[in-house]
Structure 1
C-alpha cells in the first residue's frame, strides 16, 4: 500500500485531467491562504496604528472571496474526479479480466469485492488524499519561504519541528496498513462465505443446516466488525497525535514571537505574520494524515487493483494476439474448422487434469459433444472460445459466439439484450424471435421489444431466457457457434424447435453443441463422445 502509485493514472488515463485539476486547485488554495495571512496582518496593524483600512479591507475581502470560490471549485472538482477515477479504474479492471483466460481471473467472490467495494473505496483516495498530498508538497514550502523572508527565527523553529509530522505519520501509516489489510481480508472472507451460503441455501435447507450457517455468518461478521473498529481506533488516535504535535509546534512559534514582542526585538506586523503563517506550514501535512486514514481502504484497493491489472503482462498482451497454442482465424467465412490437438488442461489448484491428450476436430455443420458429467465438455467449449488456455497442445478456431449454461443477460430492454454483440435491425430481431418461437410472446407484451427485463433476465422464465440467448446467437455473425446444453430448461416441443434452429444454423456455420438429448444427437453431422481420455469420433 503506497501513498502514491503512478500506475493508477496509467491504468486509468481518463482520470489524469480531473486529478491534475484538483491538485492545482489545492495548491492555489494554499497560496491564497498564505496571501490571506499577509492581508489580515496588514489590516490588524493598520487598525492598531489608526491608519486607513480601506485598502487592507478590500484586499482581505477579495482574498476571502477567492478562497470561497476555490473551495467551491475544489468540491465540484473532487466529486467529478472521484467519479471519473472510480469509473475508469473499474473499466480498466473489468477490461483486463475480459482479456485474460478464466484461470488467470480471481476467485469470483474476491473479484466481486474488488470490483465493487474496492473500486468504490478509491473515490476518497483520488478526490481527497491525492490533492492533499500535492498540497503538502507545495504549500508548506511556500509558507516556509514566506516565513524565512518575514521572520527567520520562526522559520528556524518550523524547519526543526515540521519533519516530525511526516515521520510520525509514516510510523502510524505502517500500523494503519496492517489494520487495513486485515480488514480487507475479513471483508473478502465475509463476502465469500455469504455468497457460498446463498448459493448452497437450498441444499442447506434440505439437510436442516441453514440455521447453523446463520451462526457462522454472524461469527465472520463479528471478525469483520472487530477489524473495522480496530482500524477506526488507529485512525482517531493517529489524528489526535498529529494534531497534538502540530499544536505544540505552533505554540513554540507563538511563545518565541511573544517573548520577542515583549522585549521589542520584533514589530507587531512581523510577529502577527509569523503566528498566522506557522499553522499553514503544518496544516497540509496534518490534512494528508487525516485524508490518508479516510482513504486507507482506497489505497489498499488501488494496490490490489493495480496488482490484478499488472499481475501478468504476458497474459494481457497475449490475449489480443493469440496466446500459446491458441489461434484465431476465419473471420467472415461461412464456417471454419475447429481443431484441438493433444490438449491438456488442469483447473487451478486441481491435482489432475480434466482433459489429457485431447484431440478434437469439427468442421462446418452440426457437431454434438456428449459424455458423462464432469468429463470436461464445458471446458472444451471454453477452450475453443479462448476463455481458457491449454496447459499443452494447440487450439485452432475461428471467431466464436458462446452460449453458456447460464448466459449473460444484462438489465435493459429486450431489444438491447438481443442486440448485444451485433447491430441487427428490428426486422432481423423479429425474424430471430420467430425462429425460436418467441415472437408471439414478445408481440403480446405492452412495450414489445422495448419491454425492460431485470439483471440476469429477471422477468423471463428459464425457458424464455434460453430461447432469447439462442436468438441472440442467431444474430451474431461469428462463424463458430458454441452452445452448452441449449435445451436444458425447455419442454419437448420447444426443444424440437431449437433443434430445427441449430440444424439451419449448421448449414452455413460451424456449430458445436454440448447436449444430452438423443434427438439432437440423431440430427448431428458428427457425434463426438468425451470420456476420461481423448475424444473418440463415433460417426
Structure 2
C-alpha cells in the first residue's frame, strides 16, 4: 500500500471496514465453490436434481452476498474518495494562497489549474479503486490458499509457488509503468502551461501575425504528450497481457495436476472441482490490483504532486486569530512601527526552483552597506530576542534575493523602493506582503518579533497593486469591489470617479455591470491599472504595496495615472517598488537597492548630489529628476 494513503483523514476506519467486508466476501467465495462443486459432483454421480436444492441455494445465496458486499465496498470507497479529494483540493488551494503569486508563477498557472480540476478527479478515482483492491489482495488469496491446502496439499503448493512469480513480474512492469507515468505527468504539465499561455497571448500572436507559427508549437507540445501517453498505454497493455498469461498458465498447471490425479483415482471429483473453481479466484485480486494500478497511475502521481505542494514550507500564523504572536496591535495606525533587521532571503532558485532574480548579492556591494542588523526594541531601547529566525541552513555564500535588509517605518509615510532590474525590489515587496518568509533576520511589529508577515490579520490591511492587475471574469462592479464586497453601488461610483474610470463606465453598454476579464470585454493596460486603483480607493485598508505598477505602461499613461495614485497615497503607509525615478520627489522616503541590499536611504533631496547609488541611477536613466 502507498504509505501516503495512511496519512489521509479517516482512512483507517474506512480501511478496517473494507477488510471486514473482504473477509465476508472471501467466506462467500468459499461457500460458492463448495456449493457448486458438491452439486455438480452429486449430479455427475447420478443424484436427482431435486435433491440438490440446498446446495444450489447455498451457491446462489453466496453469489448474491459476494456481489452485494462488493457494491457496499464500492459505495464506501466512493464516499471516502469524494470527501478526501474535496478536502485535499481545498487544502491545496489554501496552501497556494499562502505560498503567494511567486510560487504560482514558478509552477505555472496552467499546471496548477489543471491539477486542481482534472488532477483532483484522477486522484479521487485512484482512492476509489485502490482501497478495495488492496483489501482484497490482503485477505482473499490467503483465505483461499488456506482452504485449498486443507482440501488438497499438492494444489496448494502449486498456487503458493505461482503467486510470488506473478507478483515479482507485476512489480517489474509496475516500475516501468511508474517511470512512464511520471514522464507523462511532466509532459501534461508542459501542455497545460503552454495551452494557458497560448490563450492569454492569442490577441498578441494574432496582431503580430505569428498565430500560424505558434500553432506548430502547440502541435509539437501536444504530439509530445500523445507519445508519452501511448508509451504508458503500451506498458499497461503489456502488463495486462502478462498478468492474464501467467494467471492462465498457473490455473492450467493446477488443472492438469488435478486431471491426472483424478484419472488415476488419487483425488475425489468434489475436491478437484472445488480447487479448480477457486484457482481463478485466488489470482483475481492480484490481477485487479495490476489492472487498476495502471489505470490509476495518473491519479497517484497527481496525489503526490498535491502532497508535495502541501508539504512545502509556508509561514503559518501561530495563534487562532491569524497573528504571528500574542499582544500585537495589528491595526496599522500613525503610531504603529514596522522594523526589519538583517532580513535575508536566499536565492529564489533554491526556494522554488525558479530562475534567478538577481545576479548575485556578493558582487558590487556599495561602501557602507554592511551595517549591522539591529534587533527589535520595545520602545525603550531594550532589544527583543524572541521570535528571531535562525540563520538559513543554505549555503551562506550562495546568491541572495534579499541580503541583510534593515529599516524602520512608523506612521503613514510614502516609501519609494528604487533600483535596477534584479535589485531585489519585488522580493522586498513579497516579504512585506507575507508571500515570502525571511531565511534570516528579524521582523518586528510595534517592538514585538514575528516570524513573518504571513498572518491574516496583517494581510487583511494590505492593498496590493502588481504590474499586471488581474481582472476576474465578472462585472466591472464586482472587480472594483474586490477588497470591499459589501460596498454599495454609490460608493463604487465614487471610487470610479476618483480613479478616473468615469469615462470608461459611460462608454460601456452596461456601465458598471459590463462583464470584463476572461470571456468579457478586454481592457487596456492603463484601464486595468485604473480598476486596481478604484479597488484601492474603495478599500479602507491602511497599507498599500505596489510592485512596478506602471512598468508596462507608456510614459504618457503613467503620468496621467500618477496624480490619481498620489491622491490615493494620502494618509496611508505606501511601499512603491519601481525603477522609474520621477516618482521619488513625491515620496517621503527613498530606499535604494542594489543586488539584494539597501545601499542608500533618505529623501530625494537628501540623496541627490551625494555621488552615491541614487545619483548613478539618475545618470543611467537620464530622466531629468530635480
Question: TM-score scaled to structure 2, two decimals?
Answer: 0.69
Higher helix share: 1
Question: For each residue in 1:76-121, what CA deviation from the matched residue of structure 2 results, as whole angstroms up to 9, or x when unmatched?
Answer: 3444333333323333333334444766675225545544544443
Judge conservation of contact 2:593–2:600 (CA < 8 Å) in 1: yes
Match of 1:365 in 2: 412
Shift of 1:320: 3.6
Q: Give the direction of change, closer, same or farther, for the CA distance of 1:179–1:265 in structure 2 (3 Å limit).
A: same
Q: Give the direction of change, closer, same or farther, for the CA distance of 1:370–1:334 in structure 2 (3 Å limit).
A: closer
User: Aligned residues, how many?
Assistant: 519
Question: For each residue in 1:331-364, what CA deviation from the matched residue of structure 2 results, as whole angstroms up to 9, or x when unmatched?
Answer: 2353533333444554424232455554444332
Shift of 1:69: 2.6
Q: Is the aligned partner of 1:7 residue 2:4? A: yes
Shift of 1:160: 1.7
User: Which whole-Å CA distance do the structure 2 matches of 1:500 and 1:343 have between them?
Assistant: 31
Q: Equivalent residue of 2:340, what SS?
A: strand
Match of 1:528 in 2: 590
User: Which whole-Å CA distance do the structure 1 matches of 2:207 and 2:82 have between them?
Assistant: 44
User: Which whole-Å CA distance do the structure 2 matches of 1:474 and 1:25 have between them?
Assistant: 61
Question: For each residue in 1:303-351, what CA deviation from the matched residue of structure 2 results, as whole angstroms up to 9, or x when unmatched?
Answer: 33334433x5xx34x44459xxx97753235353333344455442423
Query: Cα RMSD between the aligned structures?
Result: 4.3
Q: Equivalent residue of 2:496, what SS?
A: coil
Question: For each residue in 1:438-484, what CA deviation from the matched residue of structure 2 results, as whole angstroms up to 9, or x when unmatched?
Answer: 799999999999x7968769568567765666666578786534244
Q: Is the aligned partner of 1:482 residue 2:545? A: yes
Larger mean CA deviation between 454-463 and 392-401 belongs to 454-463
Match of 1:294 in 2: 295
User: Which whole-Å CA distance do the structure 1 matches of 2:277 and 2:268 have between them?
Assistant: 14
Judge conservation of contact 1:408–1:456 (CA < 8 Å) in 2: no
Q: Give the direction of change, closer, same or farther, for the CA distance of 1:256–1:296 in structure 2 (3 Å limit).
A: same
Match of 1:153 in 2: 154
Judge conservation of contact 2:32–2:60 (CA < 8 Å) in 1: no
Which of 495, 499, 519 in structure 2 is aligned with 1:436?
495
Judge conservation of contact 1:368–1:515 (CA < 8 Å) in 2: no
Larger mean CA deviation between 147-156 and 387-396 belongs to 387-396
Unaligned residue ranges in structure 1 (runs of 5+): none
Judge conservation of contact 2:536–2:568 (CA < 8 Å) in 1: no
Map 1:104-119 onto structure 2 (within 5 A): 106-108=106-108, 110-112=111-113, 114-119=115-120
Judge conservation of contact 1:436–1:467 (CA < 8 Å) in 2: no
Question: For each residue in 1:247-283, what CA deviation from the matched residue of structure 2 results, as whole angstroms up to 9, or x when unmatched?
Answer: 1111222222222332333333222211111111111
Q: Give the direction of change, closer, same or farther, for the CA distance of 1:104–1:403 in structure 2 (3 Å limit).
A: closer
User: Which whole-Å CA distance do the structure 1 matches of 2:478 and 2:258 have between them?
Assistant: 71
Question: For each residue in 1:27-58, what CA deviation from the matched residue of structure 2 results, as whole angstroms up to 9, or x when unmatched?
Answer: 54444333322232344345442252332333
User: Which whole-Å CA distance do the structure 1 matches of 2:337 and 2:151 have between them?
Assistant: 82
Which of 389, 392, 404 in structure 1 is aligned with 2:465?
404
Q: Equivalent residue of 2:590, what SS?
A: strand
Match of 1:70 in 2: 69
User: Which whole-Å CA distance do the structure 2 matches of 1:24 and 1:77 have between them?
Assistant: 13
Shift of 1:517: 9.8
Shift of 1:497: 6.0
Shift of 1:238: 1.3
Judge conservation of contact 1:122–1:299 (CA < 8 Å) in 2: yes
Match of 1:86 in 2: 85
Match of 2:54 in 1: 55
Which of 418, 427, 435 in structure 2 is aligned with 1:387?
435
Map 1:207-222 onto structure 2 (within 5 A): 209-222=210-223
Question: TM-score scaled to structure 1, two decimals?
Answer: 0.79
Q: Give the direction of change, closer, same or farther, for the CA distance of 1:194–1:493 in structure 2 (3 Å limit).
A: closer
Shift of 1:132: 0.8
Q: Give the direction of change, closer, same or farther, for the CA distance of 1:444–1:197 in structure 2 (3 Å limit).
A: closer
Q: Equivalent residue of 2:575, what SS?
A: strand
Shift of 1:221: 2.4
Q: Give the direction of change, closer, same or farther, for the CA distance of 1:245–1:284 in structure 2 (3 Å limit).
A: same
